[in-house]
């Protein structure tokens, strides 16, 4: 199994192209994604640990789709893994994945900030 990169630059460039090459617009979108990470994780964490299946699924689906849009490949994959566990009713296993999800999200947002948001 190959480990996906934290950030797929090709996906970021594709997003930029879909916005008519407006790097500033894309940068703002990515910046907003980075700013929302703590809230997204908190929402997933709280829903999973309190057993709110529907809220956990909604939060995980949102994280997966937004992550894939900005090229956060590994985080998107981890969110997908969490979704599968939730679909199978394995809340305990999903809760055990939360530390890895948080670490990956923190690393991803740091890399996005350094390599894209703050890049010249």
Task: From residue 76, give the alpha-carbon distance in Å to each of 38, 59, 71, 117.
Answer: 15, 12, 8, 19
Quick: pLDDT tens for 73-110.
999 999 999 999 999 999 999 999 999 999 999 999 99
Task: From residue 44, give the alpha-carbon distance in Å to each of 23, 50, 74.
Answer: 30, 10, 17
Task: From residue 105, give the alpha-carbon distance in Å to each of 38, 50, 88, 92.
Answer: 9, 21, 23, 20
Q: Residue 4: inside a domain, yes or no?
A: no
Q: What would you measure as the largest C-alpha separation in the chain, in angstroms?
A: 45
- Measured CA to CA, the distance from residue 71 to residue 6 in angstroms comes to 8
Q: Residue 1: inside a domain, yes or no?
A: no
Q: Residue 40: inside a domain, yes or no?
A: yes
Q: Residue 2: inside a domain, yes or no?
A: no
Q: Residue 30: inside a domain, yes or no?
A: yes
pTM here is 0.94
Whichever domain contains 108, its CATH number is: 1.20.120
- Measured CA to CA, the distance from residue 91 to residue 56 in angstroms comes to 9
Q: Domain residues for 47?
A: 9-117
Q: Give the pLDDT of residue 120.
A: 59
Quick: pLDDT tens for 25-51.
999 999 999 999 999 999 999 999 999
């Amino acid at each position: 199994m190959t480990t996906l990169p934290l950030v797929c630059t090709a996906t970021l460039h594709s997003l930029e192209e879909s916005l008519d090459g407006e790097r500033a617009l894309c940068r703002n979108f990515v910046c907003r994604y980075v700013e929302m990470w703590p809230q997204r994780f908190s929402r997933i964490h709280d829903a999973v640990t309190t057993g709110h299946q529907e809220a956990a699924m909604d939060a995980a689906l949102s994280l997966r789709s937004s992550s894939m849009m900005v090229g956060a490949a590994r985080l998107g994959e981890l969110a997908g893994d969490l979704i599968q566990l939730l679909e199978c009713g394995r809340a305990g296993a999903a809760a055990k994945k939360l530390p890895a999800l948080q670490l990956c999200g923190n690393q991803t947002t740091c890399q996005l900030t350094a390599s894209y948001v703050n890049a010249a």
